[in-house]
Protein backbone atom coordinates (compact mmCIF):
# COMPACT_ATOMS: atom_id res chain seq x y z
CA UNK A 1 0.00 0.00 0.00
CA UNK A 2 2.77 2.44 0.89
CA UNK A 3 4.56 1.66 -2.39
CA UNK A 4 1.36 2.38 -4.33
CA UNK A 5 0.91 5.66 -2.43
CA UNK A 6 4.45 6.70 -3.35
CA UNK A 7 3.79 5.84 -7.00
CA UNK A 8 0.56 7.85 -7.01
CA UNK A 9 2.37 10.81 -5.51
CA UNK A 10 5.12 10.50 -8.16
CA UNK A 11 2.57 10.29 -10.97
CA UNK A 12 3.61 6.70 -11.81
CA UNK A 13 0.34 5.03 -10.81
CA UNK A 14 -3.38 5.75 -10.86
CA UNK A 15 -5.53 6.23 -7.79
CA UNK A 16 -6.88 2.96 -6.47
CA UNK A 17 -9.28 1.36 -3.99
CA UNK A 18 -8.48 -2.10 -2.65
CA UNK A 19 -11.41 -4.16 -1.31
CA UNK A 20 -10.26 -6.94 1.00
CA UNK A 21 -10.95 -9.12 4.03
CA UNK A 22 -8.41 -9.52 6.80
CA UNK A 23 -7.88 -12.55 9.02
CA UNK A 24 -9.10 -11.92 12.58
CA UNK A 25 -6.85 -9.33 14.24
CA UNK A 26 -6.74 -6.09 16.20
CA UNK A 27 -5.13 -2.97 14.80
CA UNK A 28 -3.97 0.08 16.72
CA UNK A 29 -4.06 3.51 15.14
CA UNK A 30 -1.81 6.38 16.11
CA UNK A 31 -4.21 7.47 18.91
CA UNK A 32 -4.69 4.00 20.45
CA UNK A 33 -4.41 3.80 24.23
CA UNK A 34 -2.83 0.63 25.62
CA UNK A 35 -5.55 0.44 28.30
CA UNK A 36 -8.13 0.01 25.51
CA UNK A 37 -6.55 -3.32 24.54
CA UNK A 38 -8.64 -5.12 27.14
CA UNK A 39 -8.02 -8.78 26.26
CA UNK A 40 -5.69 -9.48 23.30
CA UNK A 41 -7.35 -12.72 22.22
CA UNK A 42 -6.21 -12.08 18.61
CA UNK A 43 -2.96 -10.96 16.96
CA UNK A 44 -2.22 -7.26 17.43
CA UNK A 45 -0.78 -4.93 14.78
CA UNK A 46 0.25 -1.31 15.20
CA UNK A 47 -0.54 0.66 12.05
CA UNK A 48 0.19 4.16 10.87
CA UNK A 49 -3.45 5.05 10.31
CA UNK A 50 -5.33 7.55 12.40
CA UNK A 51 -7.76 6.46 15.06
CA UNK A 52 -7.65 4.05 17.96
CA UNK A 53 -8.23 0.29 18.30
CA UNK A 54 -10.36 -1.66 15.86
CA UNK A 55 -11.07 -5.24 14.91
CA UNK A 56 -10.76 -6.66 11.40
CA UNK A 57 -11.79 -10.14 10.38
CA UNK A 58 -13.77 -12.42 8.08
CA UNK A 59 -17.22 -11.06 7.30
CA UNK A 60 -16.00 -7.47 7.27
CA UNK A 61 -15.27 -5.51 4.09
CA UNK A 62 -12.16 -3.35 4.37
CA UNK A 63 -11.55 -0.69 1.71
CA UNK A 64 -8.12 0.90 1.41
CA UNK A 65 -8.61 4.16 -0.47
CA UNK A 66 -5.57 5.68 -2.16
CA UNK A 67 -6.46 9.07 -3.64
CA UNK A 68 -4.38 12.10 -4.61
CA UNK A 69 -5.95 14.60 -2.23
CA UNK A 70 -3.70 17.41 -3.46
CA UNK A 71 -5.23 17.07 -6.92
CA UNK A 72 -8.66 17.16 -5.22
CA UNK A 73 -8.14 20.36 -3.23
CA UNK A 74 -6.32 18.90 -0.21
CA UNK A 75 -9.18 19.20 2.30
CA UNK A 76 -8.75 16.28 4.74
CA UNK A 77 -11.97 17.04 6.63
CA UNK A 78 -13.94 17.00 3.36
CA UNK A 79 -12.26 13.71 2.46
CA UNK A 80 -13.35 12.05 5.73
CA UNK A 81 -16.87 13.47 5.24
CA UNK A 82 -16.81 11.94 1.76
CA UNK A 83 -15.85 8.52 3.17
CA UNK A 84 -18.75 8.79 5.63
CA UNK A 85 -21.15 9.71 2.83
CA UNK A 86 -19.88 6.78 0.74
CA UNK A 87 -20.71 4.35 3.55
CA UNK A 88 -24.07 6.01 4.28
CA UNK A 89 -25.14 5.68 0.63
CA UNK A 90 -23.95 2.07 0.41
CA UNK A 91 -25.95 1.20 3.54
CA UNK A 92 -29.02 2.97 2.15
CA UNK A 93 -28.98 0.42 -0.67
CA UNK A 94 -29.77 -2.21 1.98
CA UNK A 95 -32.52 -0.14 3.59
CA UNK A 96 -30.38 1.07 6.50
CA UNK A 97 -30.05 4.63 7.72
CA UNK A 98 -26.39 5.07 8.56
CA UNK A 99 -25.66 8.25 10.51
CA UNK A 100 -22.79 10.47 11.58
CA UNK A 101 -22.30 11.47 15.20
CA UNK A 102 -20.64 14.68 16.36
CA UNK A 103 -17.35 13.88 18.06
CA UNK A 104 -17.34 10.25 16.87
CA UNK A 105 -15.81 9.05 13.63
CA UNK A 106 -17.56 6.25 11.79
CA UNK A 107 -21.11 5.36 10.83
CA UNK A 108 -23.79 4.57 13.37
CA UNK A 109 -27.15 2.83 13.38
CA UNK A 110 -29.88 4.10 15.72
CA UNK A 111 -31.49 0.95 17.14
CA UNK A 112 -34.14 2.81 19.13
CA UNK A 113 -34.59 3.35 22.84
CA UNK A 114 -31.41 5.40 23.05
CA UNK A 115 -29.33 2.45 21.80
CA UNK A 116 -26.99 2.94 18.87
CA UNK A 117 -24.20 0.85 17.44
CA UNK A 118 -21.31 1.39 15.08
CA UNK A 119 -21.50 -0.47 11.78
CA UNK A 120 -18.54 1.08 9.96
CA UNK A 121 -15.19 2.47 11.06
CA UNK A 122 -12.88 5.00 9.41
CA UNK A 123 -9.13 5.26 9.93
CA UNK A 124 -7.00 7.12 7.42
CA UNK A 125 -3.56 8.51 6.90
CA UNK A 126 -2.21 10.97 4.34
CA UNK A 127 1.36 11.03 3.10
CA UNK A 128 2.52 13.82 0.80
CA UNK A 129 -1.08 14.52 -0.16
CA UNK A 130 -2.09 10.90 -0.93
CA UNK A 131 -4.58 9.06 1.29
CA UNK A 132 -4.29 5.48 2.44
CA UNK A 133 -5.84 3.05 4.90
CA UNK A 134 -9.59 3.70 4.81
CA UNK A 135 -12.83 2.15 6.05
CA UNK A 136 -14.32 -1.10 7.31
CA UNK A 137 -17.95 -2.18 7.09
CA UNK A 138 -19.41 -5.04 9.14
CA UNK A 139 -21.38 -7.57 7.10
CA UNK A 140 -21.30 -10.65 9.31
CA UNK A 141 -18.11 -10.71 11.38
CA UNK A 142 -17.81 -12.43 14.75
CA UNK A 143 -18.92 -9.46 16.86
CA UNK A 144 -17.68 -11.29 19.95
CA UNK A 145 -14.14 -10.49 18.87
CA UNK A 146 -14.74 -6.83 19.70
CA UNK A 147 -14.71 -7.77 23.40
CA UNK A 148 -10.91 -7.73 23.38
CA UNK A 149 -10.75 -3.97 22.73
CA UNK A 150 -12.56 -0.72 23.39
CA UNK A 151 -13.46 -0.08 19.75
CA UNK A 152 -12.31 3.39 18.66
CA UNK A 153 -12.06 4.33 22.35
CA UNK A 154 -15.87 4.29 22.74
CA UNK A 155 -17.18 2.01 25.46
CA UNK A 156 -20.71 3.41 25.93
CA UNK A 157 -22.03 2.22 22.54
CA UNK A 158 -22.09 -1.13 20.79
CA UNK A 159 -20.98 -2.54 17.47
CA UNK A 160 -23.35 -4.10 14.95
CA UNK A 161 -23.42 -5.67 11.49
CA UNK A 162 -25.74 -6.11 8.54
CA UNK A 163 -26.39 -9.70 9.67
CA UNK A 164 -27.20 -8.68 13.25
CA UNK A 165 -29.70 -6.18 11.82
CA UNK A 166 -31.38 -8.97 9.83
CA UNK A 167 -29.87 -8.17 6.44
CA UNK A 168 -28.41 -11.16 4.60
CA UNK A 169 -26.05 -9.43 2.18
CA UNK A 170 -23.22 -11.15 0.37
CA UNK A 171 -19.77 -9.63 0.03
CA UNK A 172 -20.43 -9.27 -3.72
CA UNK A 173 -23.58 -7.27 -3.01
CA UNK A 174 -21.75 -4.99 -0.59
CA UNK A 175 -18.92 -4.51 -3.08
CA UNK A 176 -21.46 -3.59 -5.77
CA UNK A 177 -23.02 -0.99 -3.45
CA UNK A 178 -19.60 0.45 -2.66
CA UNK A 179 -18.61 0.58 -6.34
CA UNK A 180 -21.94 2.12 -7.34
CA UNK A 181 -21.56 5.00 -4.91
CA UNK A 182 -17.83 5.68 -5.03
CA UNK A 183 -17.56 7.82 -8.14
CA UNK A 184 -20.58 9.91 -7.19
CA UNK A 185 -18.70 10.92 -4.03
CA UNK A 186 -15.16 10.89 -5.46
CA UNK A 187 -15.21 11.73 -9.17
CA UNK A 188 -11.83 11.46 -10.87
CA UNK A 189 -9.53 14.37 -10.03
CA UNK A 190 -9.74 17.02 -12.72
CA UNK A 191 -13.32 16.07 -13.69
CA UNK A 192 -16.27 18.31 -12.78
CA UNK A 193 -16.92 17.78 -9.09
CA UNK A 194 -13.54 16.06 -8.70
CA UNK A 195 -12.37 18.32 -5.89
CA UNK A 196 -13.28 17.74 -2.28
Nearest in space to 96 (alpha carbons), one of 119, 121, 78: 119
Strand-pair partners of 37: 149
Provide the 3-class DSSP secondary structure of residue 162: coil
Query: What would the mean pLDDT of 1-23 be, rounded to a whole number?
Result: 95
Q: Where are the domains of the chain?
A: 2-185
Q: Are 81 and 135 in contact (CB under 8 A)?
A: no
Of 66, 90, 96, 152, which one is the catalytic site residue? 152
Q: Are 136 and 120 in contact (CB under 8 A)?
A: yes
Provide the 3-class DSSP secondary structure of residue 70: helix
Whole-number percent of the chain with pLDDT over 70:
94
Query: What would the mean pLDDT of 153-178 be, rounded to a whole number?
Result: 91
pLDDT score for 170: 97
Nearest in space to 83 (alpha carbons), one of 173, 174, 182: 182
Query: What would the mean pLDDT of 168-179 be, rounded to a whole number?
Result: 97
Q: Tell me the per-residue pLDDT of 61-115, one tens digit each, with 9 for 90 and over.
A: 999 999 999 999 999 999 999 999 999 999 999 999 999 998 888 999 998 888 9
Hey, what CATH topology would domain 2-185 get?
BirA Bifunctional Protein; domain 2 (3.30.930)
Q: How far apart are CA 54 and CA 104, in angstroms?
A: 14
Q: How many C-beta neighbours within 10 Å does residue 49 have?
A: 20
Query: What would the mean pLDDT of 30-44 be, rounded to a whole number?
Result: 93
Nearest in space to 118 (alpha carbons), one of 96, 94, 133: 96
Q: Is-catalytic flag, 121?
A: no
Give the dihedral sign, CA 4/127/134/34. positive
Nearest in space to 100 (alpha carbons), one of 119, 115, 114: 119
Nearest in space to 53 (alpha carbons), one of 146, 158, 160: 146
pLDDT score for 79: 96
pLDDT score for 195: 46
Amino acid sequence: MEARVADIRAGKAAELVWLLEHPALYTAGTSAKEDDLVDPILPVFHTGRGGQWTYHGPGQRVAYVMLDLKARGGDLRAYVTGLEEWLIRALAGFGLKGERRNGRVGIWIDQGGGHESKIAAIGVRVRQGVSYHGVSLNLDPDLGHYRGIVPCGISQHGVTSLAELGIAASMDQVDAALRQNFETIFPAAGEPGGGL
